[in-house]
Structure 1
Amino acid sequence: MAYLLSYMRRFLPALLLPALLLLVPCSGWAAAGGTIVVGGDHNYPPYEFIDKDGHPAGFNVDLTRAIAEVMGMTVEIRLGRWEEMRRALQTGEVDILQGMVQADVRAKDYEFSPPHSIINQSVFARRGTKPVRDLNDLKGKDVLVQNGGMMHDYLLEKNIGARIFPVDTHVDALRQLAAGKHDYALVGNLPGLYLSREFGLSNIVPVGRLFAGQPYAYAVKRGNDQILSQFSEGLTILKNTGRYEKIHDKWLGALEPSPVSWRKIVTYAAITALPLLLLLSAIGYINRTLKKEIAHRTREMQLQQQQLIQADKMASLGILVSGIAHEINNPTGLLLYNLPVLKKIFRSAEEHLEERFRQEGDFMIGGLRYSQFREDIPLLIDEMQDGATRIKRIVEDLKDFARKDTSEMDQSVLLNDVVRAALRLVDNSIRKTTGNVVTNLADGLPAVRGNAQRIEQVVVNLILNACQALPDPSKGIVLTTGYDPERKEVLLLVRDEGVGIPKEDLSRIADPFFTTKRETGGTGLGLSVSASIIKEHEGTMIFESRPGEGTTVRVALPALQGA
């Protein structure tokens, strides 16, 4: 007896181990630590497909990866032709299919998890085709189906008399149908709509839905229930944690029609039952619209009033300038007449004064020694004459600027002359602002047709704006003229090194009464008037600016024909 027990202890483990191995299913080893191969259709969007980068994508793919994560499994997803994937499941090359329609015709070969989706099958046809009410309407017709798909299996089982044309994918069926081949395509409703939109197959539409929603689930070869139970458990976890809903909404939410909730039904009923509420809402809307319109009209009237006031101010300023210019011109004319006479008298007396200097040596005259007097007096007379000449020129420019414009737009204007006149007019403002003004006036510019006075007004406004934009005297202004032969335009560029214009203000810079210098007396009319003048001359004025880097104004005027 002791010998028998010893024998059993030695050889029983060796005898039991093979028996235990026979009891463990092969799939159990994959689930325990190996890689589970998950198969699917390579062209069944939005459920499963190969994306443009060659990677598996779609609702089924994301769902499989999420289940593998929560269950601690390692999976390999393989997508290919559907009939090949079904064959691979039977041969054991694939452990589980991540999406298959569950039906009685497949029950003898497959086991299914709880459904993760509902598939509706539809009949697609070219526009204008008579609707299909039931399967009998397909009798004698050419029907496209996916090879090995649910509808292929179903039509073979029912044998309704349709001529069946299997193709590899849903998109193949829809493309052939759109190209005029065969009569119908029997495919999944959602994939059919998705692919029709994706590939622009606008001439095909659903003409009948022959099946109610069919369960769409994970499927394994019958007998391989251990892997199936793991995927079923993972699917339950995803649904309970809300993660399933996120994946569903990502791929299917925008395509599936959203159901009408009871809350919406009650809301619509309440609106229908209370027409008075609609009437009151309409009255309220009209009231608000009228208030907005009144406020808008009020702002327009205020703006027009401000424009009239400003126009009156400008007219008064013109009259005032004309009067002052006349009064200044009278004494200036006397200076310009008398200073040459005075210089001539000095030259006449200079000979006698020199003779006395030679005889007596240096002597006092008018509080100065003659040696200094003879050097300084001619210079003083010349400076006074130059100053008087400059006063006369500035007054003339000011009179031209303030004179009421009654001339037609028929003058031949040289832009360089206008720029020089504008610089003389605002010379005092420039001197107070900066000592760094550069002019690059191109030679031989053609003339432009228009009004010299009004163009000068534009240049003056642009120079003054540039001066006001400079943060300190070290910054400068550059005025450049040129010619664009392609567009036949004469150009003026006024560039400053100022503070620049914010992006949000750049589009409004030429609007009437828009100004960023209101606190320093700005009216916001200068650039608006300038833009109007350039438009009258059939030209353009463009602003380019960056805050902190300055502003460039580009004025383009059409060259005079033949100039």
Structure 2
Amino acid sequence: MLSWLPASSSAARNDTQVIVIGGDYDYPPYEFLNDQGEPDGYNVELAHAIADVMGIRVRIELGEWDKMRDALLDGRIDALEGISISPQREQRFSFAPPHAIIHQSIFARKGAPDIDTIEELRGKEVIVQKGGVMDDYLHTHNIGAFIIPVATHSGALRMLASGKGDYALVANVPALYLSKQLGLSNIVQVARPFQAQQYGFAVRKGNEEMLAVFSEGLAILKNTGRQQEIYNRWLGPLEAPGIAWKRWGQGAAIISCVLLLILGGTVIWNRMLRRQVDKRSAELRQHQQQLIQADKLKSLGVLVSGVAHEINNPSALLLLNIPILRDAWQDAEELLEQHYAEHGDYLLAGLPYSRMRDEIPLLLKNMADSAERIKRIVDDLKDFARLDPQQLQPVDINTMVATAIRLADTTLRRSTQAFEVQYEPYLPAIQGSEQRLEQVVINLILNACQALTDRSQAVKVSTRLAEDSQQVQVWIEDQGRGIAAEHLPQLTDPFFTTKREQGGTGLGLSVSSGIVQAHGGSLSFTSTPGQGTQVCLSLPIPTHATEAAA
């Protein structure tokens, strides 16, 4: 197969080479052949998106799952775009960070008894996908079931519906999708979804350079929100089954209380620190501000790391289940309307149905919007508190800025018709994390776009060498509404924002400032209300680079 591996610099990549990515031809909505016989689905779109941001060429080949898995092992393809991660598979494959979570389900014909655990399949005829993760699991754990392997999930469900086998052990979302698509009305789930498994790209063991391409591309898509857009488009309406209304309400209330405690405690604590600082003498003020900020970041990091995971879990359940509740309401609405027409108004949840039929869709929409906002806030908090060290590498500032502009291209085109970029040639490289610095520049560009009030107003990005020749600089300038002078010193404070009514959390510039400080650099802001804002990102040049330039 291909011996080529892409270099870290996009300019060094050989565009004539193609990475061949394999997958299952019948595993919707993740990957499948559409009506035109072409590869389609969440995994396929994600693979092409990674190819776009990494500047590589890929070809998607879909076939029977066990054959595609063997094709990767013997080198006939370069990667799999979606495979569940397990300890057994980690001995033969190397995995990129997961891009989805796959749950398994047990299906049976209507009338079959419910099952609580997978061990209850002992002695039963169980249909599984050949070479799939549950095929591996049943063999590895010696469950004692009589295994009937088939090539595809749809084949497993059809066989079960036709009267063969006792149960089908299949992935939850594809099974729900296929059973509805195929009209298999005589089979049902008989157990809650279980065996949550991480799911993502894989390469042959030892092919770490190829793995790095997918890992880096996926990280860029996650940071820009593009991966979440692709995920929502394909999987939003089909995720795990709903939970009871009372449990949903309790979960939402707990999440809201925790967030209010975090935010309220942080605000109160911040005010107390301000009062203490105001009492200090003027000559010690700057030093005290630095100490307070360091202590605040440390404490907030400990607080956030302790609750972020617990908040994310119920928030994810809300995002997965609200669309199903919405579908349930739509399915039931016809019956409710018929009852209303025949018997007149009646109470639903203690309120007249004539009112609730208008209120419930709005309530569901508000719930979905609020859960998504909770997720965004928690993600921002996790980024703000992240203390993991980044491996420092030489970073070409012009290349990094060009990548950031390309990732923000859609927003730039939508916001202004007067965008300009200028690169100063022959800038020395700095030491840092290119991905994290891209995140800073993207955030600054998006802020500039949001400040514009008219598409005729301009945004300009430029790179240059500082006057002292000890730093390289990235300037982002806009002709937007500007910032009041009294707000400039607070721009990088956690939770400070002038865009609260537009959904701002006040964490974007805090995260960016932390990244820049970790690189030994600085952010400075100048602004004139009504005329625009200028932001300067300064990063130090390594000592050996400045000595060589001299």
TM-score, structure 1 as length reference: 0.42
Q: Which structure's CA Rg is the greater one?
A: 1
